[in-house]
Amino acid sequence: MGVFLEMEETPFKPAAYERAALSVEALDKDVAEIFSRGGRQSLKQIPGVGEGIAKTIEEYLKTGQITYLSRLKKKIPVDLDNLLAVEGIGPKTIKELWDKLRIKNLDDLEKAAEAKKIRKLANFGEKSEQNILQGIEFVRRSHGRFLLGEILPEIEQVLTELRRLEQVEKADIAGSLRRGKETIGDADILVISKNPQKVTDFFVSLPDIVKIWGQGTTKASIRTKQGFDIDLRIIPKKSYGAALQYFTGSKEHNIATRKIAIEKGLKLNEYGLFRGKKMIASSQEQDIYKALGLSYIEPELREDQGEIESAFQQFQGKLPGLPKLITNKDVLGDLHCHSHWDGGRDSILEMARTAMSLGYQYIGIADHTKFLRIEHGLDEKQLLRQNREIKSLNSKFQSTNSKQIPNSNFQILHGCEANILNDGSIDIKDSILKKLDFVIAGIHSNMKMPRAQMTKRIIKAMENPNVDIISHPTGRILQKRDEYEVDFEQILRAARTTSTILEINASPDRLDLKDVNIRRAKNLGVKMIINTDSHRKEQLGVMKFGVFQARRGWAEKKDIINCWPLEKLITFLKQ
């Protein structure tokens, strides 16, 4: 709704609705339950919800629609989701395109751009028109795929519901979702059950199903209202390991393992590993790999990218073998977190308490700096004031052992996310950067520089002795924006020379670095860090998506600096 209000240029309302939406999203209770118990007055107790928004929520809960929003949609009848997916297209742009050219969807936008009509509008030009065409192509390439961060929570909820059934002995996610791919086409769930019909009946009766593609005794397929499909398979207990290996994939990995089986005179399929008619392994995945003469291969590595050879080496007792992949438990902190100082929602203390609840040893506050005015970037004086607040909080942590501060050894590190300007310089004075515990630098403007110029720009920033980390190093936004044009090999060599850390941004719409670049960095000895880029405390929980990405890139604890204890981390940053 806030987007439609922004299109209408309604003062203050978009921000008010956004604040209220964030508060509702963060509730630990369903908003319908709150309303049923206390009516509109109870809704007004939610931070950011006043009388007007409370009335809107009440109307939606009672009728399933919002009259005001319906009027706005009739006034501007556009395909908002798809148009907003095009890089550079925002609410005000959509309104202008509707007012001037009656553009309401991607097809209209593409036709107008190809006819060179958009460049004639006041706020556009030939370059922006070409960028729009590139953006449309990118959106269409991504059609039918869902972000890992969108689909995984939904499937985990389905899995939880299935595991509660007394008829379900075991249930697991399979497919590309289990391998942690950054985008997913559909989801697979495998189940062991002695009463499969009960399980499939329950599955097809789940809420939020818009279509049942099919249902049998041991298999069912549905489509959810979010638009993705889920396939459920009931597997005999004796074949579960073989089925899990087969349905996890990837296709290329499965072809490679079946080839090994054939070379050994065996047959491998979803029912088991056979010599003639005799089943020699089936119930456990580990047994399948062992019988093939391979060490167990973690799901994230199963892409036929050298994992078979490494597993064979390890099984033979030879080095280097497979990596010991990092886990969620290995992560000890998060250094890219924003606070209410730069427009984030939560205070430094609130962010710190959430980090403590996750079992972290430290958190890094890295608010935007002054060039990024749209994000309320901090100048030098504000950074010094923030530094004093953080030192004060750290002193309180060390002097108390109350329930409010569950970990008195916890420490807040003070940094910033500075801007790399067009010439590679940083928008904060070096004399101030030196006073911080760490400095993150990132590209936030002019992202379509020519390849050589962008490469030189990033390398110059890395050569600044005060810059420790490069945030979201290739600038991609999944399903919306491609990577910068950049020579990544040069970037890696410069990172190794300058000891600059490259970020694996765990935000589900970034996951930048991508897996192949993580592996390239690892192989060159370039250190990395997994950060959430959180702008509110709940977003600290997206760390698991960055861990997925790091595992797909073969990363180990030694490669990821926020898997290191605080003392080792600080020593490394000071060096």
In terms of pLDDT, which residue wins out, 496 or 9? 496
Give the range among 80-84, 373-377, 539-543 with minimum mean pLDDT: 373-377
Q: State yes or no: pLDDT of 482 exceeds 80.
A: yes
Q: State yes or no: pLDDT of 210 exceeds 80.
A: yes
The average pLDDT across 202-226 equals 92
Q: State yes or no: pLDDT of 416 exceeds 60.
A: yes
The predicted-structure confidence for 437-447, as pLDDT tens digits, reads as follows 999 999 998 88
**What pLDDT is attached to residue 375?**
62
| Residues 6+ away with beta carbon under 8 Å from 40 | 54, 55, 58
Report the candidate in 132, 209, 195, 135 with the shortest Cα–Cα distance to residue 166. Answer: 195
Query: Three-class SS of residue 285?
Result: helix
pLDDT, the chain, mean: 89
- For 26-123, where are the alpha helices, taking DSSP H only? 31-43, 51-63, 67-75, 80-84, 91-101, 106-114
Q: Span 239-315: which CATH code? A: 3.30.210.10
The predicted-structure confidence for 129-165, as pLDDT tens digits, reads as follows 888 887 777 676 656 689 999 999 999 999 999 999 9
- For 165-271, where are the alpha helices, taking DSSP H only? 175-178, 196-204, 240-248, 251-263
The average pLDDT across 202-225 equals 92
End-to-end Cα separation, the chain, in angstroms:
49
The average pLDDT across 316-322 equals 93
Rounded to whole angstroms, how far apart are CA atoms 168 and 162? 7
Q: State yes or no: pLDDT of 106 exceeds 60.
A: yes
Q: 364 - beta bridge partners?
A: 413
Q: Under CATH, what is the fold of the domain 146-234?
A: Beta Polymerase; domain 2 (3.30.460)
Band the pLDDT of 28: cuts 50, 70, 90.
low
- Residue 370 is classified by DSSP as T
Rounded to whole angstroms, how far apart are CA atoms 307 and 383? 46
Q: State yes or no: pLDDT of 10 exceeds 60.
A: no
Give the range among 101-110, 328-337, 422-431 with minimum mean pLDDT: 101-110
Band the pLDDT of 75: cuts 50, 70, 90.
confident
Its CATH class, for the domain covering 328-574, is alpha beta
- Which range, 93-97, 116-120, 547-551, is most confident? 547-551
**What pLDDT is attached to residue 292?**
97
**What pLDDT is attached to residue 290?**
97
The predicted-structure confidence for 160-191, as pLDDT tens digits, reads as follows 999 999 999 999 999 999 999 999 989 999 99
The predicted-structure confidence for 364-404, as pLDDT tens digits, reads as follows 999 999 887 666 789 999 999 999 999 999 998 877 655 55
The predicted-structure confidence for 281-300, as pLDDT tens digits, reads as follows 999 999 999 999 999 999 99
Tell me if the pTM is above 0.85.
no
Q: State yes or no: pLDDT of 407 exceeds 70.
A: no
| Residues 6+ away with beta carbon under 8 Å from 133 | 110, 113, 114
The predicted-structure confidence for 511-530, as pLDDT tens digits, reads as follows 999 999 999 999 999 999 99
Q: What proportion of the chain, given as a percentage, has pLDDT over 90?
A: 65
Residue-range domain boundaries for the chain: 1-75, 146-234, 239-315, 328-574
Band the pLDDT of 337: cuts 50, 70, 90.
very high
DSSP code string of 431-493: HHHTTSS--EEE--S-TT--HHHHHHHHHHHHTSTT--EESSTT--BTTTBPPPS--HHHHHH
**What pLDDT is attached to residue 8?**
55
**What pLDDT is attached to residue 456?**
97
* CATH architecture of structural domain 1-75: Orthogonal Bundle (1.10)
**What pLDDT is attached to residue 374?**
62
In terms of pLDDT, which residue wins out, 120 or 454? 454
**What pLDDT is attached to residue 404?**
53
Tokens coding 458: 């990033």
Rounded to whole angstroms, how far apart are CA atoms 62 and 206? 23
- Contact status, residue 540 vs residue 515, Cβ threshold 8 Å: no
Band the pLDDT of 406: cuts 50, 70, 90.
low
